[in-house]
Structure 1
């Protein structure tokens, strides 16, 4: 049974007239018993002091007698703490253990799990799933590398995926219920405040705004799906992971294999349908934002008292089953035709486009290679010039300009830049140290190709 492990009177404390005090005390007691660095068995005095600290935070204290008790009505904070403490003990939330004169207080595992769940429900808010998806990917990669030692982490990945899927369902259902609640409201202030308090702060996940960006939390979905599909397609890996399940959970091999397959399919189901579920969430989110934006637009005005007037008009019009005909509205400035708000258009995602490789002709590739070789030949480098000079000078110590040969584009570029060795920068210093260019005042025609000043190239001696 669902409640077979809980006391029958467990919810009496939360259903009476004093449930507000009990709820505040239980929420703070959860922090006391969940302190992982301390002993879970507490002294009775510690628990009472914690209850008193909680009551000091409350604005007002009032105790209602739901049933006859042997205690007098509480008058001080300590009396309130004792009354609440005995109520928690009588209803099964707290368990007393006495050793001689020392009274200890503890929570049973079932009660502790129940209180933890209730606290999580009350503090349900925004979550960040970027780290969750990344942890699933890290666990799957660890399983792929070491299935025998790390196979049990597949179970953790599946649990995280199921929890993530359940939270998306909670977001979807929460937005739908909030949408019906806000659409039924006729109070503009309640619509705007409810949008921000209930939706933005309570339902929306923390990294929702990054879903449409390149750094979205689901950018690792493809790797997760590929790793999981590889597990299902590889019987060896499945057997090793199942053996790890057997060793860790002490179950049979057949049960372990079925569990591993179910975990893999849950991960695949979660991340295969993520886009459709996010689109539905985005659809409801757009409707809520549009309703809140339209309401805030009509309430926003720079004129004193205009927000109150417009809110009153909207509230009065909402009382009619059929909208009345306003003959004098067109000429009015604040609710006229010119001030009618245009709803923002929703941005539609671009349709998918099939990517096809472009065919490049052989002639274009040949022409591109020719251009590339021509540009490379025109580049002037010190290494090219040194090779050209060593080839032309050979063993000669001196050579005239007309004795140089030009057989290619590279030779012409190097020959043309021999005159400018001194201006080629620091990298050409080693050429100046080996060769000297001696110019004359005469101009000569070299091979009927280029006319330039006459010069001699002289190889410098090592001394």
Structure 2
């Protein structure tokens, strides 16, 4: 049952005449019991002092006896604190444990969880979606890198997605209910104040503006979907994750398989339809902002919605053959440019544009490839020089310059740099150790292609 682990009188304290005092005290006691750096078992005097501190923050104290007890109403802060303390103990919020003359106070796990949930509902704090999405992505990347050791973090990502999805539903329903409340109100001040107090401070997402920028937190959505789908498609990784689930959660392998599949489908479903849900939230947000802006604009000139009313009057008047005389409103400035001004229309996002790759002609590709091959042919490397010299000498010990052949650009570059092997630096030492270039003072014309000093290339002896 839903209330199986809760005392029957648990909500009597919050339903009586003193519920405002009890509520304020419970909110402050939540911080006392949630202090993770201290012992969860507190001394009775500490709890009573905490209740007194909470009462000091209140402007006015008034205690109403629900059961018509014979006790007098409390007169001091300490008496108020003791009355509230006993009320919390009697209804099951606090549990006393006595050891000799020492009384300690604690809060059972079920009551602690209930109080934490109630405090979160009352505060309804904003969420930072960027941190949530990044934590999910980080967990999925750790699963990808180490599925057997860190596969269980997939379950944490799924839980974060469920919480994230539930928060989106809360925002949507909260805006919808707030819209009904504000639209039904006739007080301009209540409409404007309700918009800022209930919507901007209570419901709006903390990093809502970033959702409309290029640096929005959902830019990692595709990466998250790809990683999650890879877990289901890769059988080897899927088995390792299931084994990690089975080891960490002490369940059977078949149960782990169904749990892993359920977690993956949760993540995929959450991030697949996120755009549609955000569009609905944005539509309700626009209606609220439009109503608040309309109310603020007409607050000093006329009633909200006057533009539509004036349009209706003009339409009705145009249907009559003779205009009615408005003697009672002569001299009153109810119709004018200020009161009939219409709010700005909603800006529609630009239509998506299909990006197509620019086509490159085959001639341009051929010219680019030929230029690249030409530059590669002009590059001089030790391997090219050594291979050219070995190919030209063959089995001969030496070879004259006129016996060298030049059949390509690579051959010409190697032939031209072969004369300067001694000045090519450390990289050419390997060629100098294998070949010796001997020059003469005579200039010759090689194949009517280049004129240079005559030289002979000979192989060095290995004993040298």
What do the CA deviations read for 1:15-66 (whole angstroms, capped 9, x no partner)?
A: 0000000000000000000000000000000000000000000000000010
2:302 to 289, 305, 310: 310
How far apart are the structure 2 equivalents of 1:106 and 1:133?
36
SS for the counterpart of 2:97 is strand
Q: Structure 1 residue 284 and structure 2 residue 284: aligned?
A: yes
How far apart are the structure 2 equivalents of 1:350 and 1:40?
56
How far apart are the structure 2 equivalents of 1:115 and 1:141?
35
**CA-CA distance at 1:366 after TM superposition:** 6.4
On the 8 A contact 2:48/2:81 being kept in 1, the answer is yes
Map of 2:36 onto structure 1: 36
How far apart are the structure 2 equivalents of 1:342 and 1:242?
60
State the TM-score, normalizing by the size of structure 2.
0.73
Map of 1:174 onto structure 2: 174
On the 8 A contact 2:298/2:304 being kept in 1, the answer is no
- Quick check: 346-355 or 361-370, which moved more? 361-370
**CA-CA distance at 1:243 after TM superposition:** 1.3
On the 8 A contact 1:333/1:339 being kept in 2, the answer is no
The equivalences for 1:65-214 within 5 A come to: 65-69=65-69, 71-214=71-214
How far apart are the structure 2 equivalents of 1:130 and 1:212?
13
Map of 1:232 onto structure 2: 232
What do the CA deviations read for 1:263-292 (whole angstroms, capped 9, x no partner)?
A: 000000000000000000011111111111
Map of 2:241 onto structure 1: 241
SS for the counterpart of 2:10 is coil
- Unaligned residue ranges in structure 1 (runs of 5+): 300-306, 318-322, 377-463
SS for the counterpart of 1:55 is helix
The equivalences for 1:380-399 within 5 A come to: none
**CA-CA distance at 1:351 after TM superposition:** 2.0
**CA-CA distance at 1:240 after TM superposition:** 1.1
Map of 1:387 onto structure 2: none
SS for the counterpart of 1:98 is strand
What do the CA deviations read for 1:112-166 (whole angstroms, capped 9, x no partner)?
A: 0000000000010321110110000000000000011111110110000110000
The equivalences for 1:222-371 within 5 A come to: 222-299=222-299, 307=300, 310=302, 327=326, 335-337=335-337, 339-364=339-364
How far apart are the structure 2 equivalents of 1:342 and 1:278?
27
How far apart are the structure 1 equivalents of 2:362 and 2:153?
53
**CA-CA distance at 1:249 after TM superposition:** 1.3
On the 8 A contact 1:225/1:271 being kept in 2, the answer is yes
How far apart are the structure 2 equivalents of 1:372 and 1:263?
51
On the 8 A contact 2:41/2:104 being kept in 1, the answer is yes
What do the CA deviations read for 1:423-448 (whole angstroms, capped 9, x no partner)?
A: xxxxxxxxxxxxxxxxxxxxxxxxxx
On the 8 A contact 2:96/2:106 being kept in 1, the answer is yes
**CA-CA distance at 1:327 after TM superposition:** 4.4
- Quick check: 194-203 or 363-372, which moved more? 363-372
Aligned residues: 359
On the 8 A contact 1:148/1:244 being kept in 2, the answer is yes
How far apart are the structure 2 equivalents of 1:346 and 1:298?
19
SS for the counterpart of 2:3 is coil
Seen in structure 2, the aligned counterparts of structure 1 residues 241 and 61 have a Cα distance that, compared at 3 Å, is same
- Quick check: 325-334 or 345-354, which moved more? 325-334
Map of 2:433 onto structure 1: none
Seen in structure 2, the aligned counterparts of structure 1 residues 312 and 370 have a Cα distance that, compared at 3 Å, is closer
**CA-CA distance at 1:349 after TM superposition:** 1.7
SS for the counterpart of 2:218 is coil
What do the CA deviations read for 1:327-348 (whole angstroms, capped 9, x no partner)?
A: 4879865741465212212111
What do the CA deviations read for 1:378-407 (whole angstroms, capped 9, x no partner)?
A: xxxxxxxxxxxxxxxxxxxxxxxxxxxxxx
Map of 1:221 onto structure 2: 221
How far apart are the structure 1 equivalents of 2:274 and 2:305?
43
Map of 2:415 onto structure 1: none
RMSD: 2.6
- Unaligned residue ranges in structure 2 (runs of 5+): 310-315, 318-323, 376-464
How far apart are the structure 2 equivalents of 1:254 and 1:343?
59
SS for the counterpart of 1:96 is strand
**CA-CA distance at 1:358 after TM superposition:** 2.1
On the 8 A contact 1:330/1:336 being kept in 2, the answer is no
SS for the counterpart of 2:98 is strand
**CA-CA distance at 1:311 after TM superposition:** 5.2
How far apart are the structure 1 equivalents of 2:167 and 2:83?
38
SS for the counterpart of 1:220 is helix
SS for the counterpart of 1:62 is coil
On the 8 A contact 1:330/1:337 being kept in 2, the answer is no
How far apart are the structure 2 equivalents of 1:166 and 1:46?
37
Map of 1:54 onto structure 2: 54
Seen in structure 2, the aligned counterparts of structure 1 residues 326 and 173 have a Cα distance that, compared at 3 Å, is farther
How far apart are the structure 2 equivalents of 1:166 and 1:336?
47
**CA-CA distance at 1:363 after TM superposition:** 4.0
- Quick check: 224-233 or 333-342, which moved more? 333-342
Q: Structure 1 residue 17 and structure 2 residue 26: aligned?
A: no
